[in-house]
Amino acid sequence: MKLNIIGFGQCGGRIADEFAALNAMARHSRKIEIAPCVIAVNTDSTDLNGLHTISKDYRHRILIGNRQTGGHGVGKINETGAQIAKENSDKILDAIRNEKRFLEADAFLLIASAAGGTGSGSISVMTKVLRERYLDKPIYNLIILPFEHEEATEERTVYNAATCLKSAYNVANAVFLVDNQRFIKKDSTIFQNIDKINRMIVAPFYDLLCAGEEKKMKFIGSKTLDAGDIIQTLKGWTVIGYGRAEVEKFNLKFRKITHFMDKSAQTLKGIRALDEAMSELSVACNPADAATAIYLLSAPAREMNMDLVKELGDYLRAKAPQAIIRNGDYPQNRDSLNVHLVFSGLTNVEKIRKYYTKSTELIPEFKRRQEENERKLKTLDEAGNSIPTLY
């Protein structure tokens, strides 16, 4: 599957840049393309300058709102981010149209953080514009949720997240959710290393996107997962995860698995990788709330067989009884067995419910504070009524 990728704001731009690196890796090592067009959009010129892989020209790193922000971002006011995106949507559309290969892609993936200003405000605006323009291509969003400490110290973070998520859900075909905090739970030192988090965010997409684009016969599975399967699966709130289990090196080349003990060990490994994928989903959720699911098994060809695929399917069916489950296999020369997992059409995500509830409480509080500030300022002004001015 090929995606046109547009990152908004600092977070969106950096993750789009990781997708550009992933595409370079796919081209180099697999001779296939998964992201023919990658663009970063920002109100902050320093952030655009800090990207590594996205082309440096003005049509791939697009600075918007320069007049309003002087190239310094919108400082977490996502209404301003949305307004600037509306005013500049033609500039972004022009850049997309100018990229000849964008028509090759099966869908768009727009990326931003929920908590910032530029990305949070512009992602839904541009999703709507693209959806009205490109009726045949689904538009997906990938939205990064803030760290817990950001939610605890800054109310605007929660409010931005709620407005961004609600708007994105209304206009996008599907919204992938990624919770920054999940990565800290995995590795407490990672907070220092945002690039590492970004690499972990994009990693589960790699095989999923490559599987359907593969040209070499030996890497084509018995059931290929292609763009059609993925498009059929993705709708509404979506989470993604991936898990891996090591496979013995000597199994890689020489031995076919026939012994019953080996066979059961192989099944266990598959289940372990699937369990890991489920516990490491990008946002905590209950698989029982999913309307659709995909799992992709990628491993050395001799480590995969229909029994294993079926076992994994049965296991998943028990966890997500309501879901329509699609699957595929992707033979790869490597020393691990990997399961990629997507749950979509989720009918409940606790984290989103929390943002909505907290923000609903915050709205009257924001209004009260604004009125109080205006009142205080007015009384201060009145106190100086009889003082002459010097200009």
Ligand X SMILES: Nc1nc2c(ncn2[C@@H]2O[C@H](COP(=O)(O)OP(=O)(O)OP(=O)(O)O)[C@@H](O)[C@H]2O)c(=O)[nH]1
CB of 293: closest distance to ligand X in angstroms? 25
Among 4, 88, 89, 118, binds ligand X (CB under 6 A): 118
Half-sphere exposure (CA, 13 Å, Cβ side) for 242? 18
Among 75, 275, 313, 324, binds ligand X (CB under 6 A): 75
Nearest to ligand X of 151, 229 (CB atom):
151
Nearest to ligand X of 117, 287 (CB atom):
117
Q: Which residues bind Mg ion (CB under 5 A)?
A: 10, 44, 73
Nearest to ligand X of 124, 292 (CB atom):
124
Nearest to ligand X of 73, 345 (CB atom):
73
Tell me the window of 71-79, 253-261, 295-303, 373-381 that interacts with ligand X (CB under 6 A).
71-79
155 binds, among ligand X, Mg ion, none (CB under 5 to 8 A by kind): none
- CA–CA dist 81, 4 (Å, integer): 22
117 contributes a contact to ligand X by CB under 6 A:
yes
Describe the crossing of helices 350-383 and 155-171 by its angle, rounded to 10 degrees.
Answer: 130
11 contributes a contact to ligand X by CB under 6 A:
yes
What is the token pair recorded at 371?
Answer: 């009125």
Nearest to Mg ion of 18, 106 (CB atom):
18
Tell me the window of 74-82, 163-171, 244-252, 308-316 that interacts with ligand X (CB under 6 A).
74-82
Among 1, 2, 7, 10, binds ligand X (CB under 6 A): 10
276 binds, among ligand X, Mg ion, none (CB under 5 to 8 A by kind): none
285 binds, among Mg ion, ligand X, none (CB under 5 to 8 A by kind): none
7 contributes a contact to ligand X by CB under 6 A:
no
Among 116, 212, 221, 243, binds ligand X (CB under 6 A): 116
Nearest to ligand X of 14, 137 (CB atom):
14
Judged by CB under 6 A, the number of residues near ligand X is 25
163 contributes a contact to ligand X by CB under 6 A:
no
- CA–CA dist 102, 36 (Å, integer): 6
Nearest to ligand X of 150, 226 (CB atom):
150
Single out the residue of 335, 311, 314, 333 nearest to residue 325, CA to CA.
314
The CA–CA distances, whole Å, from 148 to 96, 117, 279 equal 35, 18, 19
- CA–CA dist 349, 109 (Å, integer): 21
- CA–CA dist 92, 98 (Å, integer): 10
What is the token pair recorded at 353?
Answer: 């419910």
Among 2, 60, 61, 76, binds ligand X (CB under 6 A): 76
Amino acid at 189: T
Nearest to ligand X of 40, 323 (CB atom):
40
2 contributes a contact to ligand X by CB under 6 A:
no
Among 180, 238, 292, 344, binds ligand X (CB under 6 A): 180
- Contact set with ligand X (CB under 6 A): 9-11, 14, 43-44, 73-76, 113, 115-120, 144, 146-147, 150, 180, 194, 197-198
